[in-house]
């Protein structure tokens, strides 16, 4: 299939949304994102439904289970399967979380990597191997975390920058994750954003979250985006420009497609405003 690179404003591709999207994809949606673990190797009706969209729209592969910072062997079989899946559907961008999520089995959680020089070297080596297999540079996403990794030799922004530099990879910027962590650990979200290696940004996520009664903020992707997160996205565009493809993540508690489209339209509006400022 002819390769299509993502651009503009996109939406997470979920099975719950297939029926309304089959009735008509809103014009503001430029691309879709999916988790390759949930689709690669799928046959039957699901494969036909996906193909109907990948023939018309760019798709981004956003991984969930590679465990780039984990101590177990890198799942090279998964990477080869993702490589072939991307070729089959003309996908050009793959991103993964800067975290670990497996030991001798999948843990189904994204856990923080110790922020040490040794962890930088270990994780960067695994990212380089992943890039060799996929035949492309990948984006690594700043993750939401709920515990401070012990023994840190650098702060989180420094660790992300060191890994990106050592691996010669790209940055997948998630502004909601920055906001969630800033609330839970008491730091300035905009200052953290400014400290990241933004020149390497290839992709952006924005999403909603949930606040527990005790004030803990959970990155759920199950609620509308709130104003402080939109403001952080606008700040990101002021720094990186409005050309970077940006996806609205929504994983459950789905509203109707019109409500999701309104949020995608907000992304597009912020991108357009950043481009206008750059051109002025």
Instruction: Tell me the pLDDT tens digit for each residue of 165-214.
Output: 999 999 999 999 999 999 999 999 999 999 999 999 999 999 999 999 99
The residue-averaged pLDDT of 148-160 equals 94
Q: How confident is the model at residue 156 (pLDDT cuts 50, 70, 90)?
A: very high
Q: What is the pLDDT of residue 42?
A: 82
Question: Could you tell me the CA-to-CA distances from 176 to 143, 165, 220, 226 in Å, in that order?
Answer: 9, 23, 10, 9
Distance CA 159, CA 119 (A): 9
Tokens of 184: 């839970």
Q: What is the pLDDT of residue 168?
A: 98
Per-residue pLDDT tens over the stretch 254-276: 999 999 999 999 999 999 999 99
Maximum alpha-carbon separation in the chain: 54
239 has pLDDT over 70: yes
The residue-averaged pLDDT of 82-100 equals 96
Q: What is the pLDDT of residue 83?
A: 97
Percentage of the chain beyond pLDDT 70 is: 97
């Amino acid at each position: 299939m002819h390769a299509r690179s993502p651009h503009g404003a996109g939406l997470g591709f979920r099975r719950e949304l297939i029926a309304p999207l089959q009735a008509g994809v809103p014009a503001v949606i430029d691309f879709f994102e999916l988790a390759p673990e949930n689709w690669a190797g799928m046959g039957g009706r699901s494969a036909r439904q996906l193909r109907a969209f990948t023939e018309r729209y760019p798709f981004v592969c956003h991984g969930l289970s590679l465990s780039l910072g984990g101590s177990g062997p890198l799942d090279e079989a998964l990477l080869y399967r993702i490589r072939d899946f991307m070729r089959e559907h003309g996908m050009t961008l793959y991103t993964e979380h800067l975290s670990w999520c497996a030991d001798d089995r999948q843990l189904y959680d994204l856990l923080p990597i110790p922020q040490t020089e040794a962890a930088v070297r270990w994780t960067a080596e695994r990212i380089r191997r992943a890039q060799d297999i996929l035949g492309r540079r990948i984006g690594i996403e700043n993750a939401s975390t709920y515990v401070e990794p012990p023994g840190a030799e650098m702060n989180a922004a420094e660790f992300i920058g060191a890994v990106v530099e050592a691996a010669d990879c790209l940055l997948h910027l998630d502004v909601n994750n920055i906001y969630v962590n800033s609330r839970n650990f008491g730091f300035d979200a905009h200052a953290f954003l400014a400290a990241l290696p933004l020149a390497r940004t290839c992709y952006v996520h924005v999403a909603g979250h949930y606040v527990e009664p005790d004030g803990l903020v959970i990155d759920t992707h199950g609620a509308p985006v709130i104003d402080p997160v939109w403001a952080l996205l606008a700040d990101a565009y002021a720094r990186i420009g409005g050309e970077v493809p940006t996806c609205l993540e929504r994983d459950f508690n789905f509203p109707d497609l019109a409500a999701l489209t309104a949020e995608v339209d907000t992304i597009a509006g912020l991108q357009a405003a950043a481009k206008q400022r750059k051109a002025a």
